[in-house]
Structure 1
Amino acid sequence: MSTFNVPTREEVSSNNQAIFDNLKSKLGFVPNLYATYAHSENALGNYLALSGAKTSLSAKEKEVVNLAVSQVNNCEYCLAAHTAIGKMNGFNDEQILEIRTGSASFDTKTNALAALAKNITENRGRADESVVNNFFDAGYNKENLVDTIVLVGDKTISNYLHSTTQIPVDFPAAPALETALV
Structure 2
Amino acid sequence: METFNVPTRDQVSADNQAIFDNLKSQVGFVPNLYATYTHSENGLADYLALANRKTTLSGKEKEVINLVVSEVNGCAYCKAAHTAIGKMNGFTEDQILEIRGGEASFDAKLDALAKYVKSAVLNRSKPENSALEAFFEAGYNKENLVDTIILIGDKTISNFLYGSTEIPVDFPAAQELEVTVV
Instruction: Indicate whether the TM-score tops 0.5.
Output: yes
Query: For residue 115 of structure 1, what is the aligned residue in structure 2?
Result: 115
CA distance, structure 2, for counterparts of residue 35 and residue 121 of structure 1: 26
Please give the per-residue CA displacement for 1:33-75, whole angstroms capped at 9, x wherever unaligned.
0000011110100000000000000011000000000000000
Query: For residue 17 of structure 1, what is the aligned residue in structure 2?
Result: 17
Report the AA paired with residue 79 of structure 2: L
3-state SS in 2 of match to 1:55: coil
Query: For residue 32 of structure 2, what is the aligned residue in structure 1?
Result: 32
Question: How big is the shift at 1:2?
Answer: 1.2
3-state SS in 1 of match to 2:109: helix
Question: How big is the shift at 1:20?
Answer: 0.3
Query: For residue 43 of structure 2, what is the aligned residue in structure 1?
Result: 43
Identity of aligned residues (%): 68
Q: Runs of 4+ in structure 1 displaced over 2 angstroms?
A: none
CA distance, structure 1, for counterparts of residue 99 and residue 162 of structure 2: 21
Where does structure 1 lack aligned partners over 5 or more consecutive residues?
Answer: none
TM-score (norm. length: structure 1): 0.97
CA distance, structure 1, for counterparts of residue 72 and residue 126 of structure 2: 15
Which structure 2 residues correspond to residues 20-169 of structure 1 after superposition, within 5 A? 20-169=20-169
3-state SS in 2 of match to 1:38: helix
CA distance, structure 2, for counterparts of residue 68 and residue 132 of structure 1: 16
Question: How big is the shift at 1:165?
Answer: 0.2
Question: How big is the shift at 1:122?
Answer: 0.9
Question: How big is the shift at 1:138?
Answer: 0.5
**Paired positions, count:** 180
TM-score (norm. length: structure 2): 0.97
3-state SS in 2 of match to 1:36: helix
Where does structure 2 lack aligned partners over 5 or more consecutive residues?
Answer: none
3-state SS in 1 of match to 2:178: helix
